[in-house]
Amino acid sequence: MEFVRYDVNKYSPRQMVALPLVLLLLAGVLLGYTALATGLPITPGIDFAGGTAVTVFTSDSRETIEAAFAEYPVLSVGEGIGDGRYIQFGPMDDAQYQSLVGIINERYPDAKIDQIGETFGKTLQSQASLALVFSFIGMAVVVMIAFRNLVPAGTIVLAAFADIVITAGVMQIIGIPLSLGTTAALLMLIGYSVDSNILLTTRLLKRKGKLEEKLAGAFRTGIIMTTTTLTAIAAMWVVATAGQIQIIAEIASVLLIGLFVDLMNTWMLNAGILKNHILRGNKR
C-alpha cells in the first residue's frame, strides 16, 4: 500500500494541525446550533425522543405504507429480511396513538407494536449522556496518569474529543440519528482513538532515534492497524446493509466515519502538536 509509505514529515506542525482544527470548529458550531434547536447536539432517534416502532410482514411498498399513515408522524420505513418492514413514528398524544394502533391492527393483524414514552426516552438520553461523559473523563484520567506530562496527555484527550465532535457533526449532516446503538459506537470510538494516539505518543516520546524516523515508523504501524479495523467494520456494514439490519448498519457507519476522522486527528492534529513540542524542546 502506497499510503503506508506516505511521507508525513514533509509538513510543518502548523500545516498538520490546520485542517483538523478548522473541522473541529465547524462541527462544534453545527452541534451547538442543533443543541439550541432540539436540546441535543444530534437529532435523536425514538430511543431518546420517544415514539412508536412497528414491525410488520407485508408486501406493501414503502410508498404505500407512508401513504397509509400520512396523518401520523412517520419517521422512517425500513425494510427487513423477506417482507419485513420496520416503521418508526414520532411522539404522539394518547388519542392519536390509540387511533394509530387501531389502523395497524386492522391492516396488519400480526404486527408487533413497541412504544417508548417521551419521559422514558429522556431518561435513556440522560443515562447515555452520563455514560459518554464519564467514559471520556475516565480516559482522560488514565492518560494523565500514564504520561504525567500535560502536553502529550492533553493532546491525546484533544484528539479523542475532536474524534467525537467531528464524527457527531458528520452524523448530523448525513442524517444518522442519536440512539442507544450509535451512542455505543461513539463510546467504542473513544477506545479506538486512545489506542492509536497512545501508539503515536509512545513512539515519539519514549523511543530513541531521529524524530523523522520515529514518526514515519509510527505512521506505518498505525495505518496498518487502522486499515485492518476499517476492513472488518466495512464488512460488517456491507452484511448489515444487505440484510437490512438497521441498527447494526448505523453502528458500523458511525465507526467507519469515526475511524477515518481518527486517522486525521491522530496523524495530523496529535502528530503536529507533538512534533512542535519535541522540536521546541530540542531547541531549548
Give the pLDDT confidence score for residue 258 in this predicted structure: 94
Sequence-distant (6+) residues with CB within 8 A of 62 are: 77, 79, 85
Give the pLDDT confidence score for residue 2 in this predicted structure: 52
What is the helix (H) or strand (E) element at residue 78, kind and residue range? strand 74-79
C-alpha cell at 58: 407485508
Per-residue pLDDT reduced to its tens digit, 120-179: 667 777 787 788 888 888 888 888 887 788 888 888 889 999 999 999 999 999 988 888
C-alpha cell at 17: 494541525
Identify the structural domains of the chain with CATH numbers, from first to last.
Answer: 2-45+119-283 (1.20.1640.10), 51-116 (3.30.70.980)
Contact 86, 112 (CB under 8 A): no
Task: Of 73, 79, 118, give the one whose Cα is nearest residue 100.
Answer: 73
Contact 136, 161 (CB under 8 A): yes
Give the pLDDT confidence score for residue 253 in this predicted structure: 93
Give the pLDDT confidence score for residue 118 in this predicted structure: 67
> What's the number of CA atoms in the CB half-sphere (13 Å) around residue 218?
31
Using 70 as the pLDDT threshold, list the residues of the chain that sit under it.
1-9, 80-82, 118-121, 281-284
Measured CA to CA, the distance from residue 162 to residue 166 in angstroms comes to 6
